[in-house]
Amino acid sequence: MAAWFETVHEAQRRAKRRLPPSVYSALLAGSERGVSYADNTESFAELGFAPHVAATLAERDQATTVMGQDISLPVLISPTGVQAVHPDGEVAVARAAAARGTAMGLSSFASKPVEEVVAANPSTFFQMYWMSGRDVILRRMQRAREAGAVGLIVTLDWSFSHGRDWGSPTIPEHLDLKAMARFAPEVARRPAWLAGFVRSGSLPDLRAPNLALDGEEAPTFFGAYGDWMTSTPPTWDDIAWMREQWGGPFMLKGISRVDDAERAVAVGCTAISVSNHGGNNLDGTPAPIRVLPAVVDAVGDDVEVLLDGGIRRGSDVVKAVALGARAVMIGRAYLWGLGAGGQAGVENVLDILRGGIDSALRGLGKGSIHDLERSDVLVPLDFTRTLGAHQVAAVDG
């Protein structure tokens, strides 16, 4: 039991203690002042519950489906970039998600190949950015399809800003002798983390193998990042083209505005994720939980709506589902679990969330997450934000 932790906060504390400072700071990754980063988590504390005290049900069901995949709780793994916090990286996360009965989102910037991740968890969604042009995008889609990815996640909520008031982490492009010498002092203070990589027979991999095609060498993370930054941003016609080319379950991640949600429906998306990229995008964007109700009211009958951002407790999940989300996606929470204890740490985080969901359902007198209603949540009058409402007709008409 010594390795077990009971809160996501404790997972974060252990990850900070175990990881080299530069590695840990990369997991924080808020932009500029961190206004959105802070609001993502703090906003949940503004929401209350309206609990029942009698006639609560003995069994509580958390199972649902997202983009055709059955999951045992309304929590999925959100795709995040190079996971050098642990030697097994995304494969360990995929195994943990499979062990707990949920789906895996794999970033195109991941450190492990899509083929290995799908083998570890057949319920894997592959994530892509718009970069390199249609021909290359199509080939990368085909690789993901052939590997067995069951859906595509297209992320649009990521703008370039490396400026942070508390300082950006120092990440080398290559782990050459010069870089290893530079980071040796801080790594030496984290012997357990280093020992894990020594036992695995490898160093942290800072390349993006899922962006390599036809046997070519995988680009470095920063090389791929540069490719993305210099690619012309997509149009809605480009997004429609991607959906048509994929031909299967298709999620658009990064929605904050009602008009963007309506356009996502118009191009045929299976699902959308209300997200501000964990506060690592345009600082000052409201927390996803604040804009979720307006998006659900606009398109909730037409598309699966998920929420991504700020989830730290099972009660946060219940609040999001009660306000209309089909499920949530987690990022930093499972990365802290991975940093604290590898696959077991990620499983631990998912167990914490499952337990918190169960407790909240019990207190609310609900037998299923599907029974949750907005009346179960106390929403302050000035809490919600509605962005881009009633703009689609004006823009497109």
The per-residue pLDDT for range 363-386, each reduced to its tens digit, is: 999 999 999 999 999 999 999 999
pLDDT at 160: 63
| pLDDT greater than 60 at residue 60 | yes
| pLDDT greater than 60 at residue 397 | no
pLDDT at 161: 65
pLDDT above 70 coverage of the chain, percent: 93
- In this prediction the pTM is 0.94
pLDDT at 162: 66
Q: Which domains does the chain have, with CATH numbers?
A: 8-396 (3.20.20.70)
Token pair 């808020």 is at which residue?
30
pLDDT (average), residues 203-228: 82
Is 197 within 8 Å of 204 (Cβ atoms)? yes
Q: Which tokens in the block code for residue 228? A: 């993305």
pLDDT (average), residues 199-222: 83
Q: Which residue has the higher pLDDT, 188 or 5?
A: 5
Range ranked top by mean pLDDT from 177-186, 212-221, 243-252:
243-252
pLDDT at 259: 97
Instruction: Kindly tell me the burial class for residue 371, based on how many C-beta atoms sit within 10 Å of its own C-beta (0-12, 13-18, 19 or more).
Output: middle
| pLDDT greater than 80 at residue 81 | yes
pLDDT (average), residues 167-181: 67
pLDDT at 358: 97
Question: What's the gap between Cα 108 and its chain centre?
Answer: 13
Is 331 within 8 Å of 323 (Cβ atoms)? no
Q: Helices in 284-331 by DSSP H: which ranges?
A: 288-299, 314-322
Q: Which helix (H) or strand (E) holds 91?
A: helix 89-99
| pLDDT greater than 70 at residue 219 | yes
pLDDT band, residue 225 (cuts 50/70/90): confident
pLDDT (average), residues 105-125: 97
| pLDDT greater than 80 at residue 265 | yes
Go through 315-336 and write b for each residue having 16 or more CB atoms within 10 A of its CB, e for each that does not. Answer: bbbbbbbbbbbbbbbbbbbbbb
pLDDT at 198: 79
Longest dimension (CA), the chain: 65
pLDDT band, residue 394 (cuts 50/70/90): very low
User: Residue 389: CB partners within 8 Å, gap ≥ 6?
Assistant: 258, 259, 294, 298
Q: Which residue has the higher pLDDT, 207 or 113?
A: 113
Neighbours of 197 (CB within 10 A): 16
| pLDDT greater than 50 at residue 140 | yes
The length of the chain is 397
Neighbours of 378 (CB within 10 A): 13
Q: Which tokens in the block code for residue 160? A: 């370039």
The residues that are catalytic are 277
pLDDT at 53: 85
pLDDT band, residue 149 (cuts 50/70/90): very high
Mean of per-residue pLDDT scores for the chain: 91
Kindly report which listed range (117-121, 182-186, 262-266, 340-344) carries the lowest average pLDDT score: 182-186
Q: Which residue has the higher pLDDT, 159 or 235?
A: 235
pLDDT band, residue 174 (cuts 50/70/90): low
| Terminal Cα-to-Cα distance of the chain (whole angstroms) | 62
pLDDT at 172: 67
Is 304 within 8 Å of 348 (Cβ atoms)? no
Over the stretch 315-364, which tens digit does the pLDDT of each residue have?
A: 999 999 999 999 999 999 999 999 999 999 999 999 999 999 999 999 99
Token pair 């994929």 is at which residue?
246
pLDDT at 166: 72
User: Residue 8: CB partners within 8 Å, gap ≥ 6?
Assistant: 312, 313, 333, 336, 337, 349, 352, 353
Over the stretch 270-283, which tens digit does the pLDDT of each residue have?
A: 999 999 999 988 99
pLDDT band, residue 180 (cuts 50/70/90): low
d(CA 7, CA 316): 13
